[in-house]
């Protein structure tokens, strides 16, 4: 009975159109709620979207200060003795003895090594005998000359006594030729003596070179020979020892890049470090900058020579060193950070772009846009430039003239700057 009543009421409502009215009222109320939500979003969101974004920019600053500015050039190189001598040998033979070892200090004339000189001594004796034989032949030739000379004198006397009739012209000419041959033999004997003497001198020199002496006062760096070893000096003199004259004074040969060589010159202070003593800094001084260049893998460098005091003998030849050359300096200079020179204020984008002023554009999500575009500073590399400071929360430009720079700080030679003044170096957007 109840179900039938309910069905009857539903049919009546459909007949009268009451069901459609209720649905229409529900949709209308939902639409009104959406309008109210949008209005609330506009009331609270639009001020937030359109607020001045400059209030969210935070500037980072660094102060101007006074201090010393040191300009340096970095280069690498190796330590070398001021003077080194490669001691070789000009004769071949078997090494009989070696008198020195590594790191031994030697003096001029000190024996370093000796060769077995048996063969050289025999050659010297042979040359001496050849010299004696040449001298005997000279005496024989001189006697023949005297004999021919006496015979010529006798024939001249006979010709005078015979009034030119005796001896015959043929006999007189033959004797004259014999006298000339005797003189030629005498000259040849003298030349043979000179040749034998030269051979003897050469053999004696080779015999003397069989004993190797030190040409300088210094230290033995390398030794390339052992007793019993055979050395051959046929086409090239083999190097047996390498001596350094004085390790208390050394040279540092560095490779200066072509971009820095214009600042490097003689008589500049420098410091360097080596891997063997990483915590120790050694002093040096530039003595020479060479004009000749060298190119390695497309990089052009120039050799510079630094004088190094090594009285402690802590440094050794061949060590790799990293040098810092002081090419210029300023004392009590007005300094600013290089970041202040790189800073340029932004240019605010023009407003009123397509869709930028509409309410729909403000409400609907859209891709983020850059709020500023950096300005290019055409004078960034010039001496005359400008830096920025904050005055009453506003950026203010200050023209300056730059001086030297070490890559971090720059000297200011002209400009309305005072120590302690804060310069803008960068900006960031606050969250």
Task: Please write the tens of the pLDDT for every residue from 220-270.
Answer: 999 999 999 999 887 778 899 999 988 999 999 999 999 999 999 999 999
CA distances (Å), origin 27, targets 20, 24, 33, 38, 41: 11, 5, 10, 17, 21
The percent of residues above 70 in pLDDT, for the chain, comes to 80
C-alpha torsion sign, points 277, 281, 286, 292: positive
Predicted pLDDT at 318: 93
- pLDDT of residue 377 exceeding 50: no
**Hunting for tokens 């960031």 — which residue is that?**
428
Predicted pLDDT at 346: 78
| Mean pLDDT for the stretch of residues 296-313 | 94
Continuous segment of H or E residues that includes residue 139: helix 118-161
First to last CA, the chain: 70
Predicted pLDDT at 236: 78
Q: What is the CATH number of domain 74-82+250-328?
A: 2.40.30.170
Among 209, 293, 221, which residue's Cα sits nearest to residue 250? 221
Q: For residue 129, report the phi and psi dihedrals to the nearest 5 degrees.
A: -65, -40
Predicted pLDDT at 56: 64
Is this prediction's pTM over 0.85? no
Q: Exposed (0-12), middle (13-18) or buried (19+): which is 376, by Cβ within 10 Å?
A: exposed
Predicted pLDDT at 240: 93
Predicted pLDDT at 392: 85
| Mean pLDDT for the stretch of residues 357-369 | 48
Q: For the chain, give me the number of helices (H) and strands (E)? A: 6, 21
**By mean pLDDT, which of 157-171, 314-328, 343-357 is the weakest?**
343-357
Cα(391)–Cα(341) distance, integer angstroms: 18
Count the residues in the chain. Answer: 431
Predicted pLDDT at 166: 72
- pLDDT of residue 149 exceeding 60: yes
- CB 387 within 8 Å of CB 398: yes
Predicted pLDDT at 150: 86
CA distances (Å), origin 4, targets 9, 288, 392: 9, 121, 85
User: Across-strand partners of 60?
Assistant: 426
Pairing of strands 84-88, 269-274: unpaired
pLDDT digits (tens, 9 = 90+) for 18-66: 455 566 666 667 767 777 777 766 655 555 554 544 456 788 999 999 9
Q: How confident is the model at residue 184 (pLDDT cuts 50, 70, 90)?
A: very high
The overall average pLDDT reported for the chain is: 83
**By mean pLDDT, which of 86-95, 375-384, 396-405 is the weakest?**
375-384
| Mean pLDDT for the stretch of residues 55-80 | 89
- pLDDT of residue 361 exceeding 70: no
Predicted pLDDT at 375: 46
Predicted pLDDT at 28: 67
Predicted pLDDT at 106: 94
Residue 286 token pair: 């530039």
Cα(365)–Cα(147) distance, integer angstroms: 137
CA distances (Å), origin 113, targets 26, 121, 208, 225: 120, 17, 12, 9
CATH architecture for the domain at 83-115+214-245? Beta Barrel (2.40)
Q: How confident is the model at residue 383 (pLDDT cuts 50, 70, 90)?
A: confident
Predicted pLDDT at 32: 72
Q: Exposed (0-12), middle (13-18) or buried (19+): which is 81, by Cβ within 10 Å?
A: buried
- CB 148 within 8 Å of CB 211: no
């Amino acid at each position: 009975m109840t179900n039938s009543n309910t069905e009857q009421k539903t049919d009546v409502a459909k007949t009268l159109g009451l069901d459609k009215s209720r649905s229409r009222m529900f949709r209308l109320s939902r639409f009104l709620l959406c309008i109210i939500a949008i209005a609330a979003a506009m009331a609270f969101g639009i001020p937030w979207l359109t607020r001045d974004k400059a209030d969210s920019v935070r500037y980072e600053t660094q102060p101007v200060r006074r201090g010393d500015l040191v300009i340096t050039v970095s280069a690498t190189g190796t330590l070398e003795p001021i003077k080194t001598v490669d001691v070789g040998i000009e004769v071949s033979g078997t090494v009989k003895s070696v008198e020195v070892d590594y790191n031994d200090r030697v003096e001029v004339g000190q024996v370093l090594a000796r060769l077995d000189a048996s063969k050289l001594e025999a050659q010297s004796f042979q040359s001496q005998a050849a010299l004696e034989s040449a001298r005997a032949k000279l005496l024989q030739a001189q006697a023949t000359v005297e004999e021919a000379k006496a015979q010529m004198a006798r024939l001249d006397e006979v010709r005078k006594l015979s009034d030119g009739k005796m001896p015959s012209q043929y006999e007189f000419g033959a004797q004259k030729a014999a006298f000339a041959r005797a003189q030629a033999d005498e000259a040849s004997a003298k030349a043979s003596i000179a040749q034998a003497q030269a051979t003897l001198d050469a053999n004696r020199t080779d015999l003397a070179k069989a004993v190797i002496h030190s040409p300088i006062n210094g230290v033995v760096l390398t030794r390339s020979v052992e007793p019993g070893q055979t050395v051959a000096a046929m086409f090239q003199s083999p190097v047996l020892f390498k001596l350094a004259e004085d390790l208390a004074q050394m040279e540092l040969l560095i490779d200066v890049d072509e971009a820095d060589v214009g600042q490097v010159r003689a008589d500049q202070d420098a410091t360097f470090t080596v891997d063997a003593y990483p915590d120790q800094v050694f002093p040096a001084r530039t003595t020479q900058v060479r004009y000749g260049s060298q190119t390695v893998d497309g990089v052009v460098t120039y050799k510079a020579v630094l004088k190094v005091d090594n009285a402690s003998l802590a440094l050794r030849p061949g060590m790799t060193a990293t040098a810092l050359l002081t090419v210029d300096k300023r004392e009590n200079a007005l300094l600013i950070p290089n970041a202040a020179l790189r800073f340029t204020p932004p240019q605010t984008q023009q407003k009123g772009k397509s869709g930028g002023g509409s309410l729909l554009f403000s409400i609907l999500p859209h891709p983020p846009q850059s709020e500023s575009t950096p300005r290019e500073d055409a004078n960034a590399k010039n001496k005359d430039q400008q830096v920025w400071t904050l005055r009453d929360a506003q950026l203010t430009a200050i023209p300056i003239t730059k001086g030297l720079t070490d890559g971090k700080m720059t000297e200011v030679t002209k400009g309305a700057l005072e120590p302690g003044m804060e310069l803008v170096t960068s900006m960031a957007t606050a969250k």
